[in-house]
Amino acid sequence: MERTLSIIKPDGVSKRLIGEVIKRFEKNDLRIVAMKMVHLSKKEAEGFYAVHSERPFFDSLTNFMSSGPIVVMVLEGKGAIKKNRELMGATNYKEAKPGTIRHEFASSIEQNIVHGSDSPETASTEIAYFLNALEIFDY
């Protein structure tokens, strides 16, 4: 069993895609073991995306991520990190495979509906950024 952090970004929430995204996770054996809605401050968004702080799009990305509420989830399942990334599709929606969340719903390389951890190390750091042990459930 593996855990990963998923975020439905502000564009996904405002486009009313929360149910659509969750349905895809549950249909693909990704168990939602934690979930909450939060509205990040600019500083909190910068903290989350600190690895990208030198990128030219950092300011725009963190403005976007703090522009409205997001839904944060911990997904659990066999190969959860890879499976979630497959369901999401490529970062650039123009390169994402048909049927993936980003191919279906993203509107730009930045506004791409979902975030998913990309390795076991980032998954544990990212989960700890948002959730404590009492907010993650076994069932």
83 is a contact residue toward ligand GDP (CB under 6 A): no
* Cβ count within 10 A of residue 57: 12
Is 110 one of the binding residues for ligand GDP (CB under 6 A)? Answer: yes
Q: Is 109 in the site for ligand GDP (CB under 6 A)?
A: yes
Shortest Å, Cβ 135 to ligand GDP:
23
Is 115 a catalytic site residue? Answer: yes
The least CB distance from residue 55 to ligand GDP, in Å, is: 7
Q: Is 61 among the residues that bind ligand GDP (CB under 6 A)?
A: yes
**Residue with smaller CB distance to ligand GDP, 57 or 129:** 57
Which residue do the tokens 């190969």 mark? 79
Of 84, 79, 71, 67, which Cα lies nearest the Cα of 24? 84
Cβ count within 10 A of residue 58: 16
CA nearest to 19, candidates 101, 103, 139, 129: 101
**Contact call for residue 86 and ligand GDP (CB under 6 A):** no
Q: Which two tokens stand for residue 93?
A: 């929606």
Catalytic residues, by residue number, are 115
- Return residues touching ligand GDP (CB under 6 A): 57, 60-61, 91, 109-110, 112, 115, 118
